[in-house]
Amino acid sequence: MAITLVDPSGLPKIDVYRQVSIATGSKLVFIAGQVAWDAEGKTVGDGDLAAQVERCYLNIGTALAEVGGSFDDVAKLTVYVVDWTPDKMPLFLEGVARASAKLGTTPVPPGTLLGVAALDVPAHLVEVEATAVID
């Protein structure tokens, strides 16, 4: 595996991600921000943050599989959530947990979550982009 996740001593341990990823692979993969679209371009989970987070993560998994990788190869995630407030965290984590069960992994690479005013389509509540390293 090309990615080793680390929580350095002296930094807080966060349950939903690790503070550092070490990449040793040879292929760097940048995945465009994924929204809650199915293969036909229809929005999944209209008004449902957990369902949209799940779909975003599954779309990243699909993109990685196409190039010979998996979520275990993700070095960094960036998440954009419309009108983010901390009370939305349980819905976000529910979506991640559902995607994790389907992907067969617990995605915990370093991540940044940003609140934004809007995304490209008004029905989209979340967008997730990924950087991965594959052997």
CB 74 within 8 A of CB 109: yes
pLDDT for the residue 1 = 66
pLDDT at 129 over 70: yes
Predicted confidence at residue 3, as pLDDT, reads 86
Letter for the amino acid at 65?
Answer: A
- Which tokens sit at 104? 């067969």
- Enter the DSSP assignment of 86: G
Q: Render pLDDT for 17-56 as a digit per residue (tens, 0 to 9).
A: 888 989 887 899 999 999 999 999 999 999 999 999 999 9
Q: What is the pLDDT of residue 78?
A: 97
Give the confidence band of 108 by pLDDT, cuts at 50, 70, 90: confident
Name residue 20's beta-bridge partners. Answer: 6
Strand 74-82 relative to strand 111-116: parallel, antiparallel, unpaired? Answer: parallel
Which residues on adjacent β-strands are paired with residue 112?
A: 78
Beta partners for residue 130, in sequence order: 31, 77
Give the whole-angstrom CA distance, residue 48 versus residue 82.
12
Which residue has 């995945």 as its token pair? 31
Q: Which residue has the higher pLDDT, 5 or 125?
A: 125
CB 37 within 8 A of CB 58: no
Write down the residue that tokens 């229809």 correspond to: 42
C-alpha–C-alpha distance, residues 62 and 54, integer Å: 12
**Residue that is written with structure tokens 């799940």 in the block:** 54
pLDDT at residue 134 tops 70: yes
Q: Using one digit for the tens of pLDDT, what is the confidence trace for 64-103?
A: 999 999 999 999 999 999 999 999 999 999 999 999 999 9
